[in-house]
């Protein structure tokens, strides 16, 4: 009897640990990041800068302190969705979700997050659950 209670107590914990994946485990493959770099250069760099530094005026930096100020603790899904819904400002909702996902993979990689070791395929993590955690010091 005692044993059963112990097992029940531990099941939810191990389940939660295997179900949740952190941004530090790598969320996007190296291929996605490479594709995203190309798309970024074509679709975003004119305004947000070759180094994601912003244009010093309206276009926000997508790297470093300014990026984390706006995006820390928000989900990766939200960053992709915001990009798709608002960018480019004069023609939003024209970029595909795949392109926006690749570009966000690139932006996250430029901000110091690791690439995933393999393509996840069907077991891809739920991007709503992946939080843009502040950088490790």
Site residues (vs ligand HEC, CB under 6 A)? 43-44, 46-48, 58-60, 62, 70, 82-83, 87-89, 95, 103
Residue 3 C-beta: closest distance to ligand HEC, Å: 51
**Does residue 111 contact residue 64 with C-beta atoms inside 8 Å?**
yes
Residue 78 C-beta: closest distance to ligand HEC, Å: 10
CA–chain centroid gap for 19, Å, is 18
Residue 34 C-beta: closest distance to ligand HEC, Å: 16
Please name which of 39, 62, 38 lies closest in space to residue 49, comparing C-alpha atoms.
Answer: 62
Toward ligand HEC, which CB reaches closer, 20 or 94?
94
Toward ligand HEC, which CB reaches closer, 29 or 39?
39
For 112, residues 6+ apart whose C-beta sits below 8 A from its C-beta are: 135
């Amino acid at each position: 009897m005692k044993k059963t209670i112990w097992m029940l107590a531990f099941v939810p914990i191990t389940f939660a640990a295997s179900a949740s994946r952190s941004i530090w485990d790598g969320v996007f493959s190296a291929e996605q990041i490479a594709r995203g770099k190309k798309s970024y250069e074509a679709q975003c760099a004119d305004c947000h800068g070759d180094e994601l530094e912003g244009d010093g005026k309206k276009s926000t930096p997508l790297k470093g302190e300014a990026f984390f100020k706006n995006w820390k603790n928000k989900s990766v899904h939200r960053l992709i969705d915001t990009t798709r819904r608002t960018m480019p400002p004069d023609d939003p909702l024209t970029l595909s979700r795949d392109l926006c996902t690749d570009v966000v993979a690139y932006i996250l990689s430029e901000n110091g997050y690791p690439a995933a070791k393999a393509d996840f395929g069907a077991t891809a993590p739920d991007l709503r659950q992946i939080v843009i955690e502040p950088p490790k010091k």
